[in-house]
Amino acid sequence: MKSQFDAKESMEQFRCGVVAFLGRPNVGKSTLMNRIIGTKVAIVTPKPQTTRHRILGIHTDASRQIIFVDTPGIHKGSKQLNRNMVRVAYAAAEEADVLAIMQDVSAPLDRGTCALIERFADGRLSQPRIHVLNKIDKAKKDALLPRLAEIQRLDPNAVAYIPVSARRGTQTDALVDELTKYLPLAPPVYAPDWYTDQSQRQLAAEYVREQVFLAMQQEIPFQTAVDIEVFHESETGVEIEAVILVGGERHKPMLIGRGGMRMKSIGMTARKGLEELFSCHVNLKLWVKVDPGWFDHPGKLHDLGL
């Protein structure tokens, strides 16, 4: 058993700070955060722009608390929602203690990724930068070293360059240890059992939206959003009523599916995930509503937390 002196000395060496995951869409930021946290706090789909707002994931152990911020993918877009998402990402970068700039090394190094690296390397932000080269499990082995050399050329003042596989967990512990070195000495901000700052209502909306994105396949999930109208907890479980917004009349039958089968599948899968998350029975009711242009309307985006 530790003495009071040992406990005090241990707390004086405790590190706590904010790490922002930054990068283009679909580089694996959400997958990596979920892997480190050990539970699903951010939804994951193959679709671009799945993450739409800042999501906190909290990793705490005896010596550190790392507050990870999963940000929307940095991209160009003409709609208000696109602009809001990119603004959220850059704001998270400004407020973080450490920047973790991610890329997908299984895909060629494109202009957008180079521009993003150069933007953060230009000295406007003073935080330590760590480059995370994700998806090494899918990359050609002989391409990794040249890619690493190119990243070092683009940002020679970064403090580390770490190849990982978020999907398989390869080198993720090494990444966490490296990030810890650059966190300030500070007491924890959140209780040890906290793993996210999202409310159950927010998590419910995200779990439903994840299934919508996965179900829509080649259609345009960008024009869908989920609004939780009822969230009621009782002794028997949780009652949830959610409206799925679509941007046009033609999207409504696509989402509902023949005989309502697609909507039924979305509801069943989302409910199962929520029951595992909340550890109780969930009664989930879904409706589809056409709301043209919701993704370009500041007031509606505000109401949806976007």
Domains and CATH numbers, the chain: 4-180 (3.40.50.300), 200-303 (3.30.300.20)
Adjacency order of strands within the sheet including 237-246 = 224-234, 237-246, 282-290
Q: Which of 185, 180, 181, 165 is nearest to 66 (CA)?
A: 180
Q: Between the CA of residue 61 and those of 49, 100, 119, 224, 257, what are the distances in Å? A: 31, 20, 33, 38, 46
At 44 the pLDDT is: 60
At 1 the pLDDT is: 39
| Sequence-distant (≥ 6) Cβ neighbours of residue 160 within 8 angstroms | 130, 131, 178
Separation CA 67–CA 184 (nearest Å): 12
Helix or strand run (H / E) with residue 266: helix 261-278
Q: Between the CA of residue 82 and those of 51, 75, 116, 141, 195, what are the distances in Å? A: 11, 8, 16, 35, 27
Locate 37 and state its tokens: 């946290």
At 72 the pLDDT is: 62
Place of tokens 């970064």: 158
At 24 the pLDDT is: 85
Residue 99 near residue 132 (C-beta atoms within 8 A) = no
pTM value is 0.76
CA 36 to chain centre: 12
Residue 159 near residue 129 (C-beta atoms within 8 A) = yes
Separation CA 46–CA 170 (nearest Å): 20
At 55 the pLDDT is: 72
Q: How many helices (H) and strands (E) does the chain have?
A: 10, 9
E-state strands within 26-84: 55-60, 64-70
Separation CA 296–CA 286 (nearest Å): 23
Quick one: angle between helices 172-180 and 29-37, nearest 10?
80
Q: Between the CA of residue 296 and those of 4, 83, 165, 249, what are the distances in Å? A: 56, 10, 35, 17
Widest CA span in the chain: 68
Separation CA 50–CA 27 (nearest Å): 11
Locate 29 and state its tokens: 């930021």
Separation CA 204–CA 109 (nearest Å): 36
Supply φ then ψ for residue 234, to 5 degrees: -145, 180
At 2 the pLDDT is: 45
| Sequence-distant (≥ 6) Cβ neighbours of residue 304 within 8 angstroms | 225, 227, 294
**pLDDT, mean of each 10-residue run, the chain (306 residues):** 46 89 86 90 57 74 91 56 60 88 93 89 90 94 92 96 95 97 94 86 86 74 81 92 87 87 92 91 92 71 64
Look up residue 278 and give its amino acid. Answer: F
